[in-house]
Chains A and B, each alone.
Chain A
């Protein structure tokens, strides 16, 4: 056992840190995604990394880097430390790996360049009103007519679909097969006639998610990835792929350090709030939780490095990671006291914002982060997975 980084790792860290310092978009440092002003804000860091060749460290040759899992870990940590914008996962972490794993050469040639350059924005068409935790019960149909599928149905919770050029969808191609066996994986151009995007406003006032409706949408058969009715294989692959970073340890560390800075500015009875016994205890508990999670993640990483592949413990990373992220937003909200009450309109930033700048939108952020224990397989589903697959219950 050894928890020290090698001199090579440290050299790598120095290189990465210098690059980030020199190149990161300063106007987005530490800005929450809900506060981005335009489409380009989401993409600027993506494009810089693409140019550098560091956009997709985990992809295989010829696209990716040959970084070790430890180096990827350092990369994540340095990005969190510098508060660079998070890279949107839909292209590079989701549909991209599905295409390079299951796609034909033509499909790779057609879609991969746009994913890497950031010129094509992807969104994910998985959840439906009746298919949330039980994803395989999805009802959107794709009926074959000659060289086309005719797609009808509705997807929901589609993140940032308002900006998307393409959507990757799970659709039902065989109504008679068992739930998982009649599903196909389709790529659909959002400009195709018959597609309607309707915004869903969340309780924090933000517009991040959407409904996407399909009314007799004609999709060329060549847009299907993998065989017909084998879409569930792609979906499962996607869920087990790229779990590194799912715990958000590095970003949570950074958020806790921001929380502490903030508590040092707040006062209680003339003293700094950070010296208040209640807050000291709460922060200590949070840090200890996060330290344990960090080492759980490092153990996962080590096992991956030893060639064993990521295990089912990724469910632990998701559950604990999201619980910690939620807890941080709770403490931030508590920390600012009465100034957690004002509502900050995410769409018009210029409105009068009372109180210190760090207090703005804290309750809305707390409310927004409740989504993390619901999305990506709710935390109840993650616990079911551990019960069944790990504990054998």
Chain B
């Protein structure tokens, strides 16, 4: 039993921390999120240069050959910095799909481009009627000649405004919610028939509604098995959940530290408010919620390689824990900061909003409680 980090992992954490402190102070982040572009391409380039996009890729394809623990460390530090640039979409999700199911040609072409930050992906999976069910798809892909023709509407595609390629889930056969018949495609955002409408999200990020209208792709656009894509989608979203869990612990830690510091300095009735027992207990609960979230993040990270049922249970358990803890910590941090916690000026509200959003991504507490229970 060993929960310690290797020397390399500590170095990795230190260098990510240094990067965040340099490029990602709160004021800069706020300005960037409100700018026209909404992100900084040059910062994304720096993330690539540091090797963080290729962290979990094999070295043969331009990656660092790192483990899920390395990804966890990066995600946690990015959570502390509220990083906007689409690391998760690329280092975890796009790379995850290619690693798990991509052909050699796809890996050779795309993994190095992702690692270098040259090709930017977004993941178009959600649909207006689908809620959190990854198989509930009305987007269709019909066989046409050697390739396919895609039609459908993908909802709230995070990071799509920054992307040049999309990973799209579509139905090649079966009924709307069947497990079989789901296929994963790579679609160029600039392809004929792809239209996007971009908008900001509450956490200072960007997303798009993506419409696919008779979009033609070749057979080589399919990642993995035709009709058998759901297993890969579930695997990759579980990996994304592990990274989100790590990200959320980073955000929780900032809120807890900030709140404790505030409670020590803010005086009312002649004493620091941190001396009031009712607030002390609330901060203790925040602390316990954080520690439990760190524990479950380690758990899910270490179980990503386990057999399917075990991995799914681990991911759902983690998503439930961080969803509940994120809400409690976010609400408590705002409450203890009083009016100041409500402002746009202070960082507290921004972490609150990010944690609120993380609960929705890839299924909220209710969804994953159900999924966990069904897995027996």
Contacts and interface: CB of A to CB of B under 8 A. Distances in A.
A372 to B, nearest CB: 10
A278 interface: yes
Contact of B335 (A157, A278, A374): A374
Nearest to A206: B344
Interface string B246-276: 0000000000000000000001110000001
Contacts of A380: 276, 278-279
Interface string A126-140: 010010111001000
Interface stretch (A14-22, A65-73, A107-115, A267-275): A267-275
A34 interface: no
A121 interface: no
Interface in B333-350: 334-335, 338-339, 341-345, 349-350
Contact of B352 (A203, A268, A270): A203
Contacts of A157: 339
A156 B343 CA distance: 12
Contacts of A367: 202, 349, 352-353, 356
Given A133-B338, A364-B202, A370-B331, A342 B357 contact: no
Contacts of B350: 203
Interface stretch (B126-134, B140-148, B231-239): B126-134
From DSSP, what is the main secondary structure of chain A's interface residues?
mixed
Interface in A345-373: 345, 351-355, 363-364, 366-368, 370-371, 373
Contacts of A379: 335
A261 interface: no
B370 A339 contact: no
B199 A354 contact: yes
B201 interface: yes
A132 B268 contact: yes
A379 B356 CA distance: 22
B176 interface: yes
A333 B341 CA distance: 20
A237 interface: no
A352 B353 contact: no
Interface residues on B, range: 35 or more
Given A269-B133, A364-B202, A370-B331, A354 B155 contact: yes
B207 A341 contact: yes
Interface in A259-289: 266-270, 273, 278-279
B192 interface: no
B353 A341 contact: no
B177 A269 contact: yes
Nearest to A135: B268
Contact of A363 (B129, B267, B356): B356
Given A132-B338, A373-B335, A354 B197 contact: yes
A338 B331 CA distance: 20
Given A339-B156, A342-B202, A354-B156, A378 B338 contact: yes
B331 A342 contact: no
Contacts of B356: 333, 363, 366-367
Contacts of A88: none
A342 B156 contact: yes
Nearest to A157: B339
Nearest to A368: B342
Given A127-B339, A203-B352, A374-B342, A270 B176 contact: yes
Contacts of B279: 380
A134 to B, nearest CB: 4
Contact of A343 (B128, B199, B276, B335): B199
Contact of A334 (B200, B203, B345, B364): B364
A379 to B, nearest CB: 8
A202 interface: yes
A137 B345 CA distance: 25
Contacts of B177: 269-270
A310 interface: no
A312 interface: no
Nearest to B135: A269
A368 B339 CA distance: 11
B209 interface: yes
B335 A267 contact: no
B366 interface: yes
B136 interface: yes
B360 interface: yes
Interface string B174-206: 001100000000000000000001011111000
A86 B197 CA distance: 35
Interface in B309-353: 331, 334-335, 338-339, 341-345, 349-350, 352-353
Given A341-B360, A343-B201, A355 B269 contact: no
Contact of A338 (B203, B267, B360): B360
Given A132-B268, A338-B155, A339-B155, A203 B209 contact: no
Given A270-B176, A337-B132, A370 B342 contact: yes
22 contacts: A132-B339, A134-B268, A202-B342, A202-B343, A209-B339, A267-B129, A337-B131, A337-B364, A338-B155, A339-B128, A342-B201, A343-B200, A354-B155, A364-B202, A367-B202, A367-B349, A368-B342, A370-B334, A370-B335, A374-B335, A374-B342, A378-B335
Give the 7 A-B residue pairs with the shortest CB-CB distance, closest first: A203-B349, A134-B268, A338-B156, A201-B344, A343-B200, A363-B202, A278-B366
Given A132-B339, A351-B199, A354-B199, 16 more contacts: A134-B268, A201-B343, A201-B345, A202-B344, A278-B369, A279-B366, A338-B131, A342-B156, A342-B202, A343-B199, A364-B202, A367-B353, A367-B356, A371-B342, A374-B342, A380-B276
